[in-house]
Structure 1
Amino acid sequence: MKTKHFLVSSLIIMGTAAVGGAQAADWTGYTYSSVSTTAAVKGMERISDRVEAEADDLSISLHLGKTLQIASSDITQSVGDGFIDFSADLFFSGNVPIARILNLPMLIENGDQWDKAYEAMIPYLEEGFAKQDVNFLGAYRYPQQVIFTSFEIDSLDDLENRKIRVTSPEQGAFVEAFGGSPITLSGSDVPTALERGVIDGVLTASAGGAKNWHEFLDYNYRLPVNYAYSAVIANNGAYESLSEADRETLATIVSEETANITEAFLVDEQAQKQSQAEAGMTIIEPSDEDIAKAQDALAPFWREWASDAGPEHEQALQDVLTALGK
């Protein structure tokens, strides 16, 4: 039995689905983002609205990040324990480590490769979340994480002896591979750290952190380091209590709207990239040689990471590599 190790506000409305869908289910939904204008939140709101209009016996009351007493790292467990019924979770890797394969640096180069790798990982994602009493419904991804710096950069060699803010151990391995020092900071601390020289750059997206920190970042080296993605999940008991028709309706809505969220992020990425260039940021496209150099340097890390994690991770990585033709 799982230990419920954190308290949740008594305002949370529990899902009330009855087996077989005989009683209407009013699910409590949650998203990690507290900003209602982001593509992710808008997409989750569309899911909620469409479920209300299209499902027979299901509705979702969506709560923004920080409006419930749930830490970002606890979202998956919160869904599994039934405190909430439905959520988008960007911070699931601690609960489902195998999902981090899709975050490995230099493994996935572009959107087409992402689609192939993601398809290969779906069975592992479903199984990994199921172990947490959670049903994996789908995912949306953010734009590529690339390199933004306050110093001039036009090759990987320029990272040597530089301090780069990262958001995961996998990104840290990338920075270390080229002689840099990875630094972990909260997003709110980044502007001051850049201004004071505590860090020399960040790994993020034009439509991500660079949207807020661009005034401190003069250069953008567009080497595709890795991707971040968010899982859309539901409590397994609540999901199984839905009628088959409502499960199919929910699956269709999530599939369509996660694709729309991903596309909206990509559109915003191009818009922000152009805006940042017009404001004076120097945009540098990486050479094929630098991309190959980065892949060669990080490939051993992929296999070492999977080997340390265990046989299932090794098999999942191999399935992804096969799908990518690597």
Structure 2
Amino acid sequence: MTIKTLGTAALIVASTAVAHADDWTAYTYSSVSTTSAVKGMNRIVERVAAETEGDLTIDLHLGKTLQIASADITQAVGDGIIDMAADYFFSGSVPIARVLNLPMLIENDEEWNKAYAAMEPTLIEAFGDQGVVLLGGYRYPEQTIFTTFEITSLGDLEGHKIRVTSPEQGAFIEEFGGAPITLSGSEVPTSLERGVIEGVLTASAGGAKNWHEFLPYNYRFAVNYGNSMIIANADSFAALSEDTQATLRSIVAEEGPKTTEEFLADEEAQKASQSEAGMTLVEAAGGEVDMAAEKLAPFWESWAEKNGPEYVEALATVRAAVGK
């Protein structure tokens, strides 16, 4: 074999190795490395590199380190700007997924698991339409009401300005006489200080973890749940070997629920910590959950009808799953 032939063979081997190994860019909306969300994504990155023996490596970027708006993450994955992401703000790109976030529709962990399982085929198809593979996800604890004013019932919301993260949460606040306001997370502290808002819907292990010093009251009323989707670009995923695809899916399937569990554990820890620091935690008043669910049921129906037959079907699927 000549030197030229040897060189050509070496190039072929090298190019084959490069083609076989994939180096992905991933992004998460969360900018704080100590959150359960980022810790979970880091575990996925580390396990993928180890369990594929380097055939797939993933470079994870935290929120605000790339020029991608939170609301555009799913689109950025679909467009191939990034290969993978954890997206909490996917509802603009895949609005049918918001059925899982309707206020008072899902009231506890058991109902969430049933509703998500029933909706999963619809979600896979809807994300697929965006050029995205839905790999899995995780859920935050219930979104409760944190305020600057004393609150012991839903009636106390009347006349107050509350920050929400979705139109559906806004409908809940309006139902009880409050004024919903949409702000980015970075605007919340100064808005609370200036009185632009007087409260937020969030979790103790979520926004309240950073904003608790501005929020002396927490009404432990579960308005709804928020969740994040772990997604990949369809072309990038298709380019992986079948073994690597299976490994990635398996790892996400394990780490997504683990992240949820860590959030739930952190919720209890944060509640205790916030209470010790002086926050007043008040449990939901008797009968208010049933009352609120009854008041919000017409909104679920109008929301679905306004958006079209697919949404009506999605709502029916979830209601059947949770028995409502």
| Residues 1:248 and 1:152: Cα distance change in structure 2 (over 3 Å) | same
TM-score (norm 1): 0.91
Partner of 1:186: 184
Distance 2:117 2:323 in 1: 14
Partner of 1:137: 135
Q: Deviations over 1:4-49 (max 9, x none)?
A: xxxxxxxxxxxxxx99x96222111111122111111111111011
Distance 1:296 1:130 in 2: 34
Note the C-alpha offset of 1:274.
0.5
Is residue 37 of structure 1 aligned with residue 34 of structure 2? Answer: yes
Distance 2:187 2:66 in 1: 24
Distance 2:83 2:213 in 1: 40
Q: How does 1:144-293 map to 2 (within 5 A)?
A: 144-293=142-291
1:215 alignment partner AA: E
% same residue = 66
Is residue 26 of structure 1 aligned with residue 26 of structure 2? Answer: no
- Of 280-289 and 87-96, more deviation after overlay is shown by 280-289
Note the C-alpha offset of 1:237.
1.1
Partner of 1:316: 314
Is residue 55 of structure 1 aligned with residue 52 of structure 2? Answer: yes
2:152 alignment partner AA: D
Note the C-alpha offset of 1:242.
1.6
1:24 alignment partner AA: A
Distance 1:44 1:198 in 2: 34
Note the C-alpha offset of 1:188.
2.6
Which of 115, 119, 122 is equivalent to 1:121? 119
Which of 102, 108, 119 is equivalent to 1:104? 102
Structure 1's unaligned 5+ residue stretches are 1-17
Q: Deviations over 1:208-229 (max 9, x none)?
A: 1211222222211111001111
Partner of 1:80: 78
Distance 1:111 1:288 in 2: 20
| Residues 1:112 and 1:165: Cα distance change in structure 2 (over 3 Å) | same
Structure 2's unaligned 5+ residue stretches are 1-14
Distance 1:189 1:261 in 2: 26
Q: SS of the residue aligned with 1:93?
A: helix
Which of 279, 299, 302 is equivalent to 1:301? 299
CA RMSD of aligned residues (A): 1.7
CA contact (8 A) 2:85 2:232 kept: yes
| Residues 1:98 and 1:23: Cα distance change in structure 2 (over 3 Å) | same
Distance 1:198 1:22 in 2: 53
Higher helix share: 2
Distance 1:143 1:317 in 2: 22
Note the C-alpha offset of 1:231.
0.5
CA contact (8 A) 2:152 2:285 kept: no
Q: SS of the residue aligned with 2:92?
A: coil
2:41 alignment partner AA: M
Choose 1 or 2 for highest CA Rg: 2
| Residues 1:190 and 1:65: Cα distance change in structure 2 (over 3 Å) | closer
